[in-house]
Amino acid sequence: AQSVTQPDIHITVSEGASLELRCNYSYGATPYLFWYVQSPGQGLQLLLKYFSGDTLVQGIKGFEAEFKRSQSSFNLRKPSVHWSDAAEYFCAVGLIGTGANNLFFGTGTRLTVIP
Amino acid sequence: EPEVTQTPSHQVTQMGQEVILRCVPISNHLYFYWYRQILGQKVEFLVSFYNNEISEKSEIFDDQFSVERPDGSNFTLKIRSTKLEDSAMYFCASRGQAETQYFGPGTRLLVL
């Protein structure tokens, strides 16, 4: 069965420091991969996505993610974190060729940014 | 920029009561979804809807749940007889031909 693992429940970084949030998936083929961000009391905003092609994808707000097939990973990175990046980050997997293509989410990583 | 909207933003109901959560997907989208997020847990898929019928549903989506697209713009989730464990944030999402789903801001449901 497909699954998405975000091993870090909570990460704290200093403003200006670099960030990497981990995501691993389990699926028999290459899925569609997404990162969403959820600010407190808000909905889910799409940060970036990977469908095919270049394995390094750029998203909004200065985020990027790299798909590594050999590691079944899709880690999210940002070179310099801003205080406004404090939020919950969700990695999600969509299954290719399943029609409606519902998403499977990881448990999320809460990011705290300290001055 | 078009967005998915949901109403109400918050709803409090008594156990056993019926609730209807409403969503207005992005206008030219074809696929519609409901997800839920119990407090502190991950977002879980409930149901997908395409061409006026359910495409897929999870084991959570039992007979107490139903979805409807009553007109050209709204997409609703009905819970017939709410239970305490239905308390959650419910997200609507939609997508067009592309694979990206766009989510609404959610409805926080509290069952007392």
Question: Could you read off the pLDDT of B69-88 as tens digits, one per residue?
Answer: 988 789 999 999 999 999 99
What pLDDT was estimated at residue A98?
58
A83 touches chain B (CB under 8 A): no
What pLDDT was estimated at residue A97?
62
Upstream peptide bond of B8 is cis (omega within 30 degrees of 0): yes
What pLDDT was estimated at residue B41?
86
What pLDDT was estimated at residue A100?
57
In chain B, which residues have their Cβ closer than 8 Å to the Cβ of A104? 45
For residue B34, report the phi and psi dihedrals to the nearest 5 degrees. -125, 135
A50 touches chain B (CB under 8 A): no
Quote the minimal CA–CA distance from A97 to chain B in Å.
11
Name which of A44, A101, A102 is nearest B91 (Cβ-Cβ): A44
The neighbour count for residue B22, using CB atoms within 10 Å, is 16
Q: Are B112 and B13 in contact (CB under 8 A)?
A: yes
> What is the Cα B76 distance to its own chain's centre?
7
Distance CA B41, CA A90 (A): 11
The first and second tokens of residue B15, run together, are 């156990």
Distance CA B46, CA B65 (A): 9
The first and second tokens of residue B73, run together, are 């713009």
Q: How far is CA A28 from CA A1, A65, B43, in A?
A: 9, 21, 22
3-class secondary structure, A64: strand
What pLDDT was estimated at residue A50?
92
Quote the minimal CA–CA distance from A28 to chain B in Å.
19
For residue B12, report the phi and psi dihedrals to the nearest 5 degrees. -115, 130
Q: B83: which DSSP letter?
A: -
**For B23-74, how does the pLDDT look when each residue is reduced to its tens digit (9 = 90+)?**
999 998 999 999 999 988 889 999 999 989 999 999 999 999 999 998 878 9
What pLDDT was estimated at residue A42?
78
The neighbour count for residue A92, using CB atoms within 10 Å, is 27
Distance CA A37, CA A24 (A): 17
A108 touches chain B (CB under 8 A): yes
Instruction: Name the strand (E) or helix (H) holding B95.
Output: strand B88-95
What pLDDT was estimated at residue B76?
97
Q: Are B54 and B47 in contact (CB under 8 A)?
A: yes
3-class secondary structure, A77: strand
Nearest CA to A68 out of A48, A58, A54 is that of A54
Tens digit of pLDDT at every position of chain A (115 positions): 678 999 999 999 999 999 999 999 987 777 889 999 998 877 899 999 998 888 999 999 999 999 999 999 999 999 999 999 999 999 999 876 656 578 899 999 999 999 9
What pLDDT was estimated at residue A3?
86
